[in-house]
Amino acid sequence: MMHKGCTDPKTLMVAADAGDAARRGLTDFLTTAAERLKQARKLPPGPERNELRQTVIALRWLAVHKLSPEREQRLRQMLERDARDGT
């Protein structure tokens, strides 16, 4: 279950205690969403901030809806590449 409006990583990490792979995937998406939202809040209003906020919305949706393992892997690779590139 996703907590609407919750961006605190400690609160979002609760699902990880279950030890279940699906829960860990959910936590990963929510943690990434929380980190991106914090980045967005530091930026002035504009296109970069809006793009990060849209990414957060998508990650929160993905945390709730099940993906195929292949799609989840591709998404994780994209997120890792974005993190390395500083996006």
Predicted confidence at residue 68, as pLDDT, reads: 86
Q: Could you tell me if 30 and 52 are in contact, meaning their C-beta atoms sit under 8 angstroms apart?
A: no
pTM, whole model, 2 decimals?
0.55
pLDDT digit string (tens) for 18-50?
A: 344 445 566 788 888 899 999 999 999 999 999
Q: Looking at residue 83, what is its pLDDT?
A: 78
**pLDDT score recorded for residue 25:** 60
Distance CA 7, CA 18 (A): 20
Share of residues in the chain with pLDDT > 70 (%): 68
- Its sign, for the CA torsion 21, 24, 30, 35, is negative
Write down the mean pLDDT value for the chain: 74
Q: Is the pLDDT of residue 11 over 80?
A: no
| Domain extent listing, the chain | 9-85
